[in-house]
Structure 1
Amino acid sequence: MGATLRALRALVLLCGFYLLGLVLLAALAALDVASVTWAHGAVTGKIVLVSVVLAIPVVRGMFMLRTPEGDGPVGLAVTEAAEPRLWALVRELAVATGTRAPDTIVLTGDVNAAVSENPRLLGLRPGPRSLYLGVPLLTGLTEAQLRAVLAHEYGHFTGGDTRLSALVVRGRVQIGRTVGHFRAKADGKQAAERARQQQAAAKRTAKGKQAKEVDTAGAGVTYRLMAAIYTAYAKLYLRATLSTARAQEYAADLAAARIAGRDATASALREIPALAAAHDFYLESYATLGVTARQLPPHGQFFGGFGRMLTAREAELTRLREKLPTEPASPYDSHPPIADRVQRIEELPADGRGGQDDGPALALLADPARTLAALEDAVLTDEVRQFERAGEWEQLLGSSMAAGLASLDTPLHRALAFYTKDRPTLPALLTVIDDGQLWQLAQRLPLSEQAAAAKGRAFREFVRPVLRDSLQSMVLAEFSARSLLHWEFSWSRPASLRLPGSASDLDGEAGTEAALAAAVDAALADRPDTAPLRALLPPAPQPA
């Protein structure tokens, strides 16, 4: 099916959205006429009011004729003067692919490359083009692999896919907004009804009466019904408009292999899912490490640290490259499974191109460090940019761990609150244990029915895992509060720590963990002994 026929089919399906709206409006109007004819008084007014309320989002959805501007990925637009090598590569590949180069290049913070076009006449005539290029992708790919990725994206241009996508996206946006409006209204009705019933229940309880169970199943049911109708059409729309999408991806892969070489295309396809998984891990474990302490990595390192982690964890990346996804992300995913795409490319005859290592793609940028810093300013929110900048990654780790431990709130903390007027602390807990009240304290922990029914040794075995985790955390919090913990930062493995006192004489991380685990186990034994834990604690500060 050609681009024009695909666009026409998308246009027909988009018209179906408007037809669905007209049918619903006609049904609501018929309901109003019937109520006026057959019903009387307040019933007629309620029916007309409900139909008007339901008609408003339908009409709004029908008049969303244009996709709002600025809906593309947030990023840093770069000019040809600022990034001449990148633009030269982009233009070179456009000529090789036989298509028009993009008018704009936007660097983003995602592991992704994408092209878009703002066509005219509902996608039947071309318009301005944009290339969105993720800096983490540049960080992890070689220049040869990047050429393959860009050639793949240009394959969508030559096939007219970007013009088709304008219609598809428009339909998705319109249907999605209409469904979202109905669901938001239903949720609002449900929340209001829940609040009303909870308030009534509180009044009955205050009067000594038994409160009724809160039941909001019927709240907002008409809105949910309308949302269900549009959701059903949305599924039909997606399945129909994405029926040729996978063929488009295969064709774009072949274009990439023709332009950039078989080996470069296959290796790029293997690399992208590995980079995506690694980047998710990097964001969670490194880049956003200091959020609880309202700290950011050194300027330019929010994205710049990703390359350092990739270098340190090359062995893990190698394993990820071999574990290619064999199933699409969802039934509506436009991309075929990566494993299938790689197999198709690797079955092509060897062409002797693209297998060489020609350096990192990030080197195409004129000043990578400056660009990474500018990208932070472009994509991070105003609130996040106000965070303090750590001088080094080690400082960021220490601040993050200290903030997390300072706000510690474990089940053991909450149980201990019954034994002390002040904020629960480790010394207070050790006093409770020394007084022989550990297992009475454990009765106040959240317990399963089986644990609550257990007695003696069986009960102790049930509660020990919760006690052990909480007590170990309390020990770390106590040392952190006295600035006695030393955290060791690493790009290749989890952060490790060193404890003061007797543990500092032990050899390495394993010895530190073993000393703490042994002291915690002694405190939680059938006959608790807090002496090993107290030996780890520094002397309490003496008053002046």
Structure 2
Amino acid sequence: MAGMSAAQAAPDSGSLASRALLMVVLWLGFWLLAAGLVIGLLAIPVAQLHFRDTIDLSGIVAACAGITLAYSLRPRRAGSAAADVVPTPLRRDEAPQLFRFIEGVAAKVGVTAPFEVHLVTTATAFIRAERTWTGRVKTLSIGIGMPLFVWLSEAELGAVIAHEFGHFIGGDTLLTPWVYRTRLSIGTAVHALDDSVFFLDEPFRRYGQWFLRRSTAVSRAQEYAADALSARHFGVASACAALEKIHLLEPMWFAYFHHDLVPALNCSVQLPVFDGYRRFCAAAPKRREVQEAIDGAAERTSSPYDTHPSLDERMTALGGGASGRLSGPVNCAGLLGGEERLETIWFERIGGRDWPGLGWDAFGDVVLGKKIQARFAGTDMAPDALPLTRLPEIALSLDAWWPRLKPDGPSFLSPAGQRNHVLDVLRDWAIASLCHAGFALHVRPGESLVLKRDGITIEPGQLLAEACQGRLTAATVEAYMATSSPDTAPAS
């Protein structure tokens, strides 16, 4: 696609419509093939019983194969991305500048339909059309990711919204759900047939792969067409910058949101969301599970079945190039009254209007540490009842502690899962014990929890690791609890 201009990248809507219709026909063919094979297999024992009054081994095998196939291909409820969308849309009086801005973008691209705006917790954007039974558009739902307001310029955000309007103009809001559902339906069915003992998965796998290749072309053409519209109205530079920023923001924001922000918000406190993200980005080194989540997203290789072209393919089609780094935020949060106002609006919508506000520096000691202490207060693992000096002994007998620490109700954890659960409880118990001894808990987004007192810094995860390795003694723990020397604590 080298040298392809934005205009050349845009197929006509009639071509997209015909290809989307083809996907529906192919989807119907898939299920007719499945129904025919199930009926054919089940007909064998029925015919044997009718003509021979008995069912032989081949009939039994065919019946089992037919039942297995029918069960594997049973309809399943598709997952939904709606959990990422703040359900209550913004009101015009809350964000008049943003509404005027979107109206300006709509006027540029020629869209006149009424719309509502939703905040999205991911670093992305979307558009959906609510239609009447006759197909007339009632309302467009436009979703804009919260971090986009803080890291994109107004021109770049305009390019993103124009891209989404491009999907509506091209008929994608009507066609894409069909394409997506057929892809999901066939992909789920093929996956369910993996390792079939009757080798029935092979024809469906081949059909499914062929279908996915054809439907991928439709999805990618839709993206190129929307990109072309975006660049035509807001410039190639803004369209490319927006694409690259979203590409670089997404894995980091996802890791921050799910590994740091959401667990903290479970304590019902308002924390500075974007300040936490900046701290998260600057954290070094990051916690192991956080770094693994970021690396996993960054190292994901493109697949021929991806619905979106790669960043390089999209930018090449537009005639731009990637810088390879996320520039500092240029911030168009003024469209919502500023960064703090954006956070206030979001907290109101997730039910946190009355939560107390607190900074990240105080959160660990004031809220989280006390919450962890309350978990063990009055139990047989309270610091006074079970001193932390027992940690070295307990850490070497994790399996024996599973019956005592297992969660309520039936558990289906593997032995490794059981040990991890015990380790999680022991880590929180160590935090509670150290807080009880006067240590202050410090939460740093992206990094491991640490506890500090009189120049001593202890990382509970490292303390537990040393105990499991047999390198920690009760006397050493007792010294940590009593001493004020900064040289006795394990390195954080």
Give the TM-score taking structure 2 as reference length. Answer: 0.64
Aligned partners of 1:443, 1:487: CA distance in 2, in Å?
26
Quote the sequence identity (%).
24
Give the alignment partner of residue 4 of structure 1, picking from 4, 17, 22. 17
Deviations 1:235-294 (A, max 9, x none): 332221112433432332232222112322222122112221231232244313347xx5
| 1:332 corresponds to | 305
Question: Structure 2 matches for 1:51-450, cutoff 5 A?
Answer: 55=70, 73=85, 75-101=87-113, 103-117=115-129, 129-175=140-186, 233-290=207-264, 295-298=267-270, 301=271, 305-312=272-279, 329-345=302-318, 347=320, 360-365=331-336, 372-373=343-344, 375-376=346-347, 378=349, 389=355, 391-393=357-359, 394=361, 396-398=363-365, 399-401=367-369, 425-428=387-390
Q: For residue 490 of structure 2, what is the aligned residue in structure 1?
A: none
Structure (1 or 2) with the larger CA radius of gyration: 1
Shift, 1:295, TM fit: 1.4
Displacement after TM superposition at 1:498 (Å): 1.4
Identify which of structures 1 and 2 has the higher relative contact order when contacts are C-alpha pairs closer than 8 Å and 6+ apart: 2
Deviations 1:104-143 (A, max 9, x none): 33222221101233578999x8775332222232233222
Q: Cα offset for 1:491?
A: 5.7
Q: Tell me, yes or no, if the aligned pair for 2:369 and 2:431 is still in contact at 8 Å.
A: no
* Matched residue, 1:484: 438
Contact conserved, 1:77 with 1:105, CA < 8 A, in 2?
A: yes
Does the 8 Å contact 1:11/1:167 carry over to 2? yes
Note closer, same or farther for the CA distance 1:144–1:314 as it changes in structure 2 (3 Å cut).
farther
Aligned match of 1:33: 46
CA drift at 1:332: 1.9
User: Take 2:189 and 2:470, find their aligned partners in 1: how far apart are those partners?
Assistant: 60
Contact 1:113 1:134 (8 Å CA) reproduced: yes
Picking from 19, 28, 45, the partner of 2:32 is: 19
1:41-56 mapped onto 2 (5 Å cutoff): 55=70
Contact kept, 8 Å, 1:91 with 1:101, in 2: the verdict is no
Task: Specify the code of the residue in structure 2 equivalent to 1:89.
Answer: F
1:327-349 Cα deviation digits (max 9, x unpaired): 7544321222223434554648x
1: CA distance, partners of 2:134 / 2:30: 15
Instruction: Provide closer, same or farther for how the CA distance between residues 48 and 484 of structure 1 changes in structure 2, counting only shifts above 3 A.
Output: same
Distance in 1, matches of 2:298 and 2:462, equals 39
SS in structure 2 of the partner of residue 131 of structure 1: strand
Output the aligned Cα RMSD: 5.5
The corresponding residue for 2:411 is: none
Give, in whole Å, the separation in 2 of the partners of 1:67 and 1:471. 35
**Letter of the structure 1 residue corresponding to residue 269 of structure 2:** P
Q: Distance in 2 between matches of 1:375 and 1:278?
A: 20
Assess, with a 3 A threshold, how the Cα gap between structure 1 residues 69 and 536 changes in structure 2: closer, same or farther.
closer
Q: Which residue of 2 aligns with 1:460?
A: none
The 1:330/1:273 distance shift into structure 2, 3 A limit, reads same
Aligned length: 420
Classify 1:88/1:328 alpha carbon distance in 2 versus 1 (closer, same or farther; 3 Å).
farther
**1:309, CA displacement in angstroms?**
2.9
User: Do 1:328 and 1:337's aligned partners in 2 also have CA atoms closer than 8 Å?
Assistant: no
Q: 1:8 to 1:118 in 2, by over 3 A?
A: farther
Hey, what's the Cα distance between the residues in 2 that align with 1:81 and 1:244? Answer: 39
Tell me, yes or no, if the aligned pair for 1:266 and 1:345 is still in contact at 8 Å. Answer: yes
- For residues 273 and 259 of structure 1, the distance between their equivalents in structure 2, rounded to whole angstroms, comes to 21
Measured in 1, the distance between the counterparts of 2:177 and 2:134 equals 7
**Structure 1 pair 6–50 and aligned structure 2 pair: CA distance change class (3 A):** closer
Q: Show structure 2 runs of 5+ residues with no match.
A: 1-10, 285-290, 292-296, 322-326, 400-423, 484-492
Asked whether the equivalents of residues 38 and 67 of structure 2 are also in contact (C-alpha less than 8 Å), the reply is: no
